[in-house]
Structure 1
Amino acid sequence: MTDVLLRAGHVVAVLAVVLVAAHVGRLAARAARQPEVIGEIVAGILVVPAVLAVGGTPALTAVLPTDVVSPLKVIGEVGLVLFLVGVAYDLRHGGSGLGARAIGWVTAGSFLPALLTGLVMAAWVVWVADPDVRGDAPVPALVLMVAVALSVTAVPVLARVLEDRGMADSPAGRLAMAAAVVTDSAAWVLLVVAVGINGGIVVSLILIALGVTTTAVGRILLRGRGPLSAAERFPRATGAAIAALALLAAFQFEHWGLTAVFGAFVVGLAIPGGAWAAAVRPVMAFGRLLVPVFFVVAGMGVASAPRGAVPWVAIVLAIGLAVLGKVGGGYLGGRLAGQDRRTSVTVGVLVNTRGLTEIVVLQAGYSAGLLSVRLFLALVVMALVTTGMTGPLLSLIERTRTRAPKPVPVPELPGSTP
């Protein structure tokens, strides 16, 4: 009994340290005029390397022994699942108020070129990179996984950037958000397919069909007046029920061989809009609070890479291709949608925001054995760099707009008609 209490106290202490580190990371990111999630991700991932730097492997073993890491992993996955329920809910019910043609062009521009650059990156990994970067995942699964990794846009981080900068109602902001919603929906599906290829495509297709059916049935059942009335009268109890169902679905689908992300999306996409938002928001907020624990577990994977084996070529290539696919593709989509150059380049910069969503995708691929430690590290750095570029590039665009020469008024000639 004493050992159990000591272990529980150890877990609580580490959890408190992680949450404090996340808070410090948010403050630092805010001071640097970066999205707060950047600070959370960096703080979470650096916890393990910081312990290693201070005390070496013995300190890491003492601070994070196996019987503490296992509960932390579960806590991080619980937070991730609850957070993604809200993400899926927002993906379903988000709107832009823009024309279908404009949204279609921007979506195609922000997704297809990025997917193509992802295929280029995957080809380099398969045919050129060292075996320790390549890993031993099946080629189709690896190629699809890398392509997805370079095509993701983080809807939650993008929403926060638009809110912080007052761009939510601007043409560029609305176009980027609409494109990100569609792009992320496609990326999650492709991620599930990639994981499924690694685990058995036939079984995975059956499970995907089961998930889609469950979502459709859930939508029908929850549309009734009875469930809506319960959500309105008892939002907290309804939120607890949603959280329980999401965790059950997530871990069951993971047990069957798919990622827990899929189970979270099955539940989140089934929830109607309107009054149900009051039940979903606390679930998402609680999950968001625990997500930094997920980053610590990811940091342990990054820290396990051999010293002196940083894949610099993979990092540089990933960043270059990621920026080319998203910024270039977003700009092209904006121009084809009839937007001016400044709006189009702003759209490209916005859809290049990856952040939390990208880290979740990469961790899912790493946990499924699709990414080697070094390739995972390279793509994590790419996600942080591309997301960190968003704020400075937007400021640069704003400064160029401010400095743009204003038209000189032409003086009226004497006797001219006003």
Structure 2
Amino acid sequence: MTPAVAAHATAALGVFLAVGFLGRGLARRIGQPGVVGEIAFGMLLGPAILGLAGPGARSVLLPDDVLALLRDLGHAGLVLFLVGVAHELRLDAARLRDRAIGWTVLGTLVPSLVAGAALGGWLVRYGPPSLRGTAPAGAFVLLIALSLAVSAVPVLARILADRNLTTTRAGRLSLTSAALVDAVAWLLLAVVVAVATPGSGAVVSAVVVLVAGTLAATLGRRLLKSARAERLCARWPWAVAVVLGVGVLQAADVAESEGLTAIFGAFVVGLMIPPTSPHWDAPVRRVSTLGLWLVPVFFIATGLTIWRASGGIPWLLALVATALAVLSKIGGGYVSGRLGGEERAEALRVGVMLNTRGLTEIVLLQVGYSAGVLTSGLYLALLVTAVATTSMTGPLLSLIDRRRRTAPAPAPAKDERIGAAG
């Protein structure tokens, strides 16, 4: 890398970070999660403005060598951020004994998978080649099903905290269910990548890495819970954060080289970290925060690549995918919540919360696009779904609260009226 390229990349990085900061600020000002602004500004608005300026302007402002460097940096930021996501997937054993958890997970996972599989099957059978692509049908259908089934645990946790819902019944139920659903989704995503990878030994290699990673996460968690590890973490949190960051990037590279996605390597390291240890929270937070600041770089660099390869957003497909995502997730969450014993407002609130897809769906789409499973047009259509479902969470929760406050009190039973009259 020449000094000129390094200087150009540094200047572009500053612009990318400023765009991300602006997007986050505007989104929060209108009551939306910051990631919505980052996606809208990074993947949609920024590339659209450069596209209007013409290909000549893009090649001058962001030549291929600079864009490739920024894309790698953004990808590294995403991997670092996902350590915190994996660390958030902490499941309280006491919560798992709640029968409503099982109903909610089934009710939000199964209908969404079926709806996504139906959409994927329709595209396999009737979709134009520009949207269908050439990926194996199984990997193609499963990835679309997963994109509709996931919930964004980090974004959901932030929404719950902003609304003081974290300790409520609906908040605990939705966050625990989202963690379980996403755990299933990440495992199935490894299957998608293995099936889509050319070569007869790809699936076997991916399965071996998957099993080895699971065992490594289990063993690593036991080692990191030791008293010596706790003392080191408490005494040198910054040094531990550096070692953790380097280890995450190395694990991501190993996973990708063995036929799985780099995301899996980040999750293995994140799951190694003891979830209940207060000493490990600071290093994880520092690594994840660095990644969070670099995520806009990932959005913009990916958006430029996607827009350059696509013919625009297929809006009809985006509308159909969004409708299926909303109906399956909110409807399934409401029905399963009622079956689990929740009252109507709480069951509806849980369904709305789990409809938040945010960055989790974006990661799945990026993995699918990088593996050749998704075309650029389909990527953009499902990106619209991720933004739309995340954006509607706050307004729908506010609407439920308003309707509950203004609803008339239930009429007293007949015997109560008679007793009052007597």
TM-score scaled by length of structure 1 = 0.94
The letter of the residue matching 2:373 is L
1:297 Cα shift?
2.0
Query: Is 2:135–2:372's contact at 8 Å kept on the other side of the alignment?
Result: yes
Q: CA deviation at 1:95?
A: 7.2
Say if 2:310 and 2:376, in contact at 8 Å, map to a contact too.
Answer: no
User: Retained in 1: the 8 A contact 2:155–2:358?
Assistant: yes
CA distance in 1, matches of 2:14, 2:313: 31
Unaligned runs of 5+ in 2: none
Amino acid at match of 2:59: T
1:146 to 144, 151, 158: 144
1:171 pairs with one of 159, 169, 172: 169
1:288-340 per-position Cα deviation (integer Å, ceiling 9, x unaligned): 11111110122123312444x53233212211111111111111121111001
Q: What is the CA-CA distance between 1:122 and the residue it aligns to?
A: 0.8
Q: Secondary structure at the match of 1:327?
A: helix
Q: Which residue of 1 aligns with 2:49?
A: 50
Residue 313 of structure 2 is aligned to residue 314 of structure 1: no
Note the C-alpha offset of 1:44. 1.1
Distance, in Å, in 2 between the alignment partners of 1:150 and 1:27 is 27
Equivalent residue of 1:92, what SS? coil
Q: Give the alignment partner of residue 252 of structure 2, picking from 243, 250, 253.
A: 250
CA distance in 2, matches of 1:106, 1:90: 19
Q: 1:337 aligns with which of 337, 340, 347?
A: 340
* Alignment of structure 1 residues 185-200 onto 2, 5 Å: 185-199=183-197, 200=202
Secondary structure of the residue aligned to 1:353 is: coil
Q: Is the 8 A contact 1:96 1:174 kept in 2?
A: no
- Residues 317 and 238 of structure 1: is their aligned pair in 2 closer, same or farther, counting only changes over 3 Å? same
- The one-letter code matched in structure 1 to 2:322 is I
Q: 2:350 aligns with which of 337, 340, 347?
A: 347
**AA aligned opposite 1:138:** P
> What's the counterpart of residue 36 of structure 2?
38
Match of 1:241 among 236, 240, 243: 243
Task: Give yes or no for the alignment of 1:357 onto 2:383.
Answer: no
1:344-363 Cα shifts (integer Å, max 9, x gaps): 11111110000111111101
Corresponding residue to 1:86 among 77, 80, 84: 84
2:27 maps to a residue whose letter is A
Structure 2 distance, partners of 1:98, 1:222, is 24
1:172-210 CA-to-partner distances (Å, cap 9, x unmatched) read 111110100000111111111100111121121111112
Counterpart CA distance in 2 for 1:278 and 1:315 is 39
Moved more, 402-411 or 214-223: 402-411
Tell me whether 1:160 sits opposite 2:158 in the alignment.
yes
**Does the Cα contact within 8 Å between 1:246 and 1:263 map onto a contact in 2?**
yes
Give yes or no for contact 1:114–1:325 (8 Å, CA) kept in 2. Answer: yes
Query: Could you tell me whether the CA contact under 8 Å between 1:359 and 1:383 is conserved in 2?
Result: yes
Residue matched to 1:7: 5
| Partner-residue secondary structure (3-state), 2:2 | helix
Shift of 1:98: 6.6
Determine the C-alpha separation between the residues in 2 that align with 1:92 and 1:390.
23
Distance 1:153 1:360 in 2: 12
Partner Cα separation in structure 1 for residue 107 and residue 364 of structure 2: 21
Letter in 2 for 1:146: I
| 229-238 or 40-49, larger mean C-alpha shift | 40-49
Tell me which amino acid in the other structure corresponds to 2:87.
Y
Are residue 215 (structure 1) and residue 217 (structure 2) matched? yes
Aligned residues: 412
Distance 1:404 1:186 in 2: 38
How big is each residue's C-alpha offset from its partner over 1:238-259, in whole Å with a ceiling of 9 and x where there is no partner? 1111111110000121122211
User: How much has 1:408 moved relative to structure 2?
Assistant: 6.9
Contact preservation (8 Å) 1:95, 1:178: no
- Whichever residue aligns with residue 163 of structure 2, its letter is R
Q: Which residue in 1 is equivalent to 2:294?
A: 290
Q: Distance in 1 between matches of 2:39 and 2:240?
A: 30
The one-letter amino acid of 1:51's match is L
CA distance in structure 2 between the partners assigned to 1:415 and 1:113 by the alignment: 50
- Alignment RMSD: 1.9
Residue in 1 that maps onto 2:284: 280
Q: What runs of 5+ residues in structure 1 fail to find an aligned partner?
A: none
My pick for the range that moved more, 358-367 or 292-301, is 292-301
Identity of aligned residues (%): 45
Q: Which residue of 1 aligns with 2:99?
A: 101
Residue 15 of structure 2 corresponds to 17
2:113 corresponding residue in structure 1: 115
1:79-134 CA-partner distances (Å, limit 9, x unpaired):
11111111111113567747431111111111111111111111111001111110
The one-letter amino acid paired with 2:187 is: V
Tell me the amino acid that sits aligned with residue 160 of structure 1: R
